Amino acid sequence: MAAKAKARTKAKSKARSKARSGAKTVRVTTSSQRKATPSARGNGEGRDLLARLARGAVVCAEGYVFELERRGYLQAGSFVPEVLFEHPEVVEQLHMDFVHAGSDVTEALTYYVHREKLRVIGREKDLVPMNRQALKIAKSVARRTGTLFAGDLCNTNIYDPADKSAIKEVERIFDEQAGWAADAGVDYFVAETLGWVGEALLALQAIKRHSKVPTVVTFAMHREEATRDGFTPAEACQRLEAAGADVVGLNCHRGPATMMPLIKQIRAAVKCHVAALPVPYRTIPQQPSFMALTDACCGNQRAFPVGLDPFMCTRGEIADFGREAFANGIRYLGVCCGAGPHHIRALAESLGRHPPASRYSVDMSRHAFFGTDKMIRKIQTDYRDKA
Ligand SMILES: [Zn+2]
């Protein structure tokens, strides 16, 4: 039955591709093909996620929609990456920037490119080409750079355990997205930002119907230290491990400080590899998720999503998180919404890496006021306490 379903999905999507051909050709720029250099290739070797994790850490940049919003190519609110059609070259460059900064993974930007979200913005008809476009761009970057090519499924926002028709629709959403990613030949799958164990299981089952590659499943924890269906993060991850997930853990919503305690509980509760991809914001016990943060400088308004800048973690804080997580046996590491390439570089360097972007990592020895180089004039260094 699974094989039949796959054949059906393939046949359907082929027919759709044929119908589309010529009508809407979105060209993926080849400009960065020229930019790809040996130094930009291969933060690791091989396309087997589990083999890489057996050898050491895997760094995965996430949070593309937040970074694209900051760059002015995506609207905060719906957070649907229409940029895939409007500026595919920007998406490609973003992938390249993260690889340059140390990401071992190029994840297809299919986050929120599912039926429910496209319906909300009135673009459901673009579902198939938008998914194909995201997969095509990511695959192209992954293959050029020697990074892992990951497919991506995410929260649907309609899952309701008491609503049979909603569950059916969620199954359809996961089934079609998993099918398209499998067609594209992803090296592994990510199912992320999930709030319900029930929904996570549906995502994992859909992936397994279409593919045999490894799957990473990550939950996003809101203020409560429980999933929407009442499981602790450790219990939730145990359930996903038992259902066949290869890597389990948390992504998004929580910053390093409020994710770390939960990640340690998960590490102690499961046997498989654990993933931790916090948002780069200074969340605190009273406001443990980035949606909960309020800004005292702005009338204690909710800072999410476009007022979060004052809460941004420094590179040092992200590096500290990476070191502590790895020392505690967490090997699949990344940064989610809010992450810029500088965070990914800091994370990679905290794990002993030297990605191409490390060529430009800070060196204050030649700074005009704080430098120690003999070329720096005394008239400046004498002034440093007034600078
Ligand atoms: Zn995120």
Distance CA 283, CA 250 (A): 15
How far is the centre of ligand 1, averaged over its atoms, from the C-alpha of 278 (Å)?
Answer: 8
Smallest CA-to-CA distance from 152 within 102, 222, 81 is with: 81
Q: The tokens 């130094």 sit on which residue?
A: 39
How far is the centre of ligand 1, averaged over its atoms, from the C-alpha of 220 (Å)?
Answer: 8
How far is the centre of ligand 1, averaged over its atoms, from the C-alpha of 124 (Å)?
Answer: 23
Phi, psi (degrees; rounded to nearest 5) at 370: -100, 0
Q: The tokens 């590659």 sit on which residue?
A: 213
Does residue 262 contact residue 252 with C-beta atoms inside 8 Å?
Answer: no
Distance CA 84, CA 139 (A): 14
Per-residue pLDDT tens digits of the chain, which is 387 residues long: 444 444 444 444 444 444 333 334 444 444 433 333 323 334 445 899 999 999 999 999 999 999 999 999 999 999 999 999 999 999 999 999 999 999 999 999 999 999 999 999 999 999 999 999 999 999 999 999 999 999 999 999 999 999 999 999 999 999 999 999 999 999 999 999 999 999 999 999 999 999 999 999 999 999 999 999 999 999 999 999 999 999 999 999 999 999 999 999 999 999 999 999 999 999 999 999 999 999 999 999 999 999 999 999 999 999 999 999 999 999 999 999 999 999 999 999 999 999 999 999 999 999 999 999 999 999 999 999 999
How far is the centre of ligand 1, averaged over its atoms, from the C-alpha of 370 (Å)?
Answer: 36
How far is the centre of ligand 1, averaged over its atoms, from the C-alpha of 67 (Å)?
Answer: 10
How far is the centre of ligand 1, averaged over its atoms, from the C-alpha of 104 (Å)?
Answer: 18
Distance CA 55, CA 41 (A): 18
The pLDDT value given to residue 38: 29
How far is the centre of ligand 1, averaged over its atoms, from the C-alpha of 23 (Å)?
Answer: 33
The pLDDT value given to residue 45: 59
How far is the centre of ligand 1, averaged over its atoms, from the C-alpha of 242 (Å)?
Answer: 25
How far is the centre of ligand 1, averaged over its atoms, from the C-alpha of 365 (Å)?
Answer: 36
How far is the centre of ligand 1, averaged over its atoms, from the C-alpha of 337 (Å)?
Answer: 4
Parallel/antiparallel/unpaired status of strands 294-295 and 301-302: antiparallel
How far is the centre of ligand 1, averaged over its atoms, from the C-alpha of 56 (Å)?
Answer: 24
The model's pTM: 0.88
How far is the centre of ligand 1, averaged over its atoms, from the C-alpha of 201 (Å)?
Answer: 20
Record the tokens describing residue 192, joined without a space. 């992320």
Helix axis angle, 197-210 to 164-184, nearest 10°: 40
Strand order, beta sheet including 215-219: 58-61, 332-335, 273-277, 247-251, 215-219, 188-194, 148-154, 105-107
Q: What is the 3-state secondary structure (H, E, C) of the chain?
A: CHHHHHHHHHHHHHHHHHHHCCCCCCCCCCHHHHHCCHHHCCCCCCCCHHHHHHHCCEEEECCHHHHHHHCCCCCCCCCCCCHHHHCHHHHHHHHHHHHHCCCCEEECCCCCCCHHHHHHCCCHHHHHHHHHHHHHHHHHHHHHHCCEEEEEEECCCCCCCCCHHHHHHHHHHHHHHHHHHHHHCCCEEEEEEECCHHHHHHHHHHHHHHCCCCEEEEECCCCCCCCCCCCCHHHHHHHHHHCCCCEEEEECCECHHHHHHHHHHHHHHCCCEEEEECCCECCECCECECCCCEEHHHCCEECCCCCCHHHECCHHHHHHHHHHHHHCCCCEEEECCCCCHHHHHHHHHHCCCCCHHHHHCCCHHHCCCCCCCCCCCHHHHCCHHHC
